[in-house]
Amino acid sequence: MAKRTVIIEGDEQLRKKSRTVTVFDDKLAVLLDDMADTMYAKQGVGLAAPQISILKRVIVTDDGSGLKEFINPVIDSQSDYSVMTEGCLSVPKRWGDVSRPNKVEIEYDDRNGEHHKATFEGFEARIISHETDHLDGILFIDKLEPETEQ
Ligand code: ZN
């Protein structure tokens, strides 16, 4: 396990669309372990693979309830929106108000390639929304509520 370098806004890799994961091998396991190490080292609550220059649809989260791994996450439905101030490890020293769902129903694969469906609520739903955006090249600064950037 190892920490990887988190790239910063301005790096064009953050704006690319990540590829679907089709191979569930040891290399993917190493990526997931490294992403968790990197997220915890940076005291983040989530990390998407493109933030460490890997353009694959992989995210990890920990809202305080433990590490979760989502491969190829797809948000099937989202509801119960609220506005909250958020930031991003790839956009240092900037925060802003973003509207996100408090409830998401998602499908995803685990590191063994097994498919799952699950519902997440509250802060965890917000994190999943933020991290899944990264897989399509979207940053929170693209979604700021008017007049709230700090
Ligand atoms: Zn982010």
Ligand 1 centre distance from Cα of residue 98 (Å)? 12
According to DSSP, residue 25 is labeled S
DSSP SS3 for 132: helix
pLDDT (tens digit, 9 = 90+) per residue, 71-107? 999 999 999 999 999 999 999 999 999 999 999 999 9
Which residue, among 26, 44, 36, has the nearest Cα to 1 in the 3D structure? Answer: 36
Q: What is the pLDDT of residues 20-51, one digit of tens each?
A: 999 999 999 999 999 999 999 999 999 999 99
Catalytic residue among 86, 107, 131, 145: 131
pTM: 0.95
Cα–ligand 1 centroid distance for 106 (angstroms): 19
Our answer to whether residue 131 is catalytic in this structure is: yes
CB 136 within 8 A of CB 17: yes
